[in-house]
Structure 1
Amino acid sequence: MTFTATPRGARLARRLASHRLDAWGHPYESDLNTTVTLIVAELAANAVTHGRVPGRDFRLGLWLDPAAGLVRVEVTDTRGDRMPPESPSLPSEPDAETGRGLCLVVALASRWAVVPRTDGGPGKTVRAEVYV
């Protein structure tokens, strides 16, 4: 699904992910739903904050692969010049209000990666997978 690159779009992406997981049999209060929803929230917030190009949207992909026993999240933005660090670190100031999102994704996901967009457009896709 495509969302506007705004805080409202990020909230809608998070809500959609939680609803989709519930429809797939992973209730709202379950560990998997909570974990994947948090990952979507952080990646969508990063797409809005760091990957935003005025007038362009971001895209959320969410897949359940029962055979592999995993859920895959993909958030694609249109800004290829701002790549996330390969090894994110916490902010140096303990009271900083930002800078922890990708660290949370790394901690919660079974694996994650940043890949170029596959449709040939500008930008990148941040992918995270969580085992069911």
Structure 2
Amino acid sequence: MHQLDVWGFPHGSDVSDAVAHIVAELAANAITHGHVDGRDFELRLARREPNTLRVEVADARGDRLPRRQPGEGDVESGRGLCPAEALATAWGVTERQVGKAVWAELKV
């Protein structure tokens, strides 16, 4: 959030809040579904062009790709990508030499 503030998107702004939600979801997914003993996940935040922000979270598990699956009833998991997808302009997965990177972009 500090970096967003430096880029002109103050803490508590709509952009800052949207990025915080996306980072939280992608990081939680990396920890829950992408964890490999002895390996951490990697978070990147980039400003592309003058009006696009990209959040990227990489983990070491290339075999467990994320998918959006609306939760039914009172289930406690499976809905996380729905809000992230709603906040982002686009999202996807990029293969890496080890694992994968899940990314989301926002037009600002």
Fold-level similarity (TM above 0.5): yes
| 33, 56, 62: which one aligns with 2:39 | 56
Match of 2:91 in 1: 112
Instruction: Give the gaps of 5 or more residues in structure 1.
Output: 1-17
**Any residues of structure 2 matched to 1:55-74 within 5 Å, and which?**
55-67=38-50, 69-74=51-56
Amino acid corresponding to residue 82 of structure 2 in structure 1 = C
| 58, 68, 73: which one aligns with 1:76 | 58
Deviation at 1:89, TM superposition (A): 2.1
CA distance in 2, matches of 1:124, 1:37: 21
CA distance in 2, matches of 1:60, 1:42: 12
CA distance in 1, matches of 2:102, 2:37: 20
| 14, 20, 24: which one aligns with 1:41 | 24
Match of 1:19 in 2: 2
- TM-score under structure 2 normalisation? 0.94
Q: Report percent identity of matched pairs.
A: 53
Amino acid corresponding to residue 79 of structure 2 in structure 1 = R
**Root-mean-square deviation (Å):** 1.1
CA distance in 2, matches of 1:114, 1:91: 21
| 77, 92, 98: which one aligns with 1:98 | 77
1:126 maps to 2:108? no
- TM-score under structure 1 normalisation? 0.77
Amino acid corresponding to residue 115 of structure 1 in structure 2 = T
Q: 1:49-96 CA distances to partner (integer Å, 9 max, x unpaired)?
A: 0000011010011011243x11001100000111112xx12112x212
Structure 1 residue runs of 4 or more that deviate by more than 2 Å after TM superposition = none
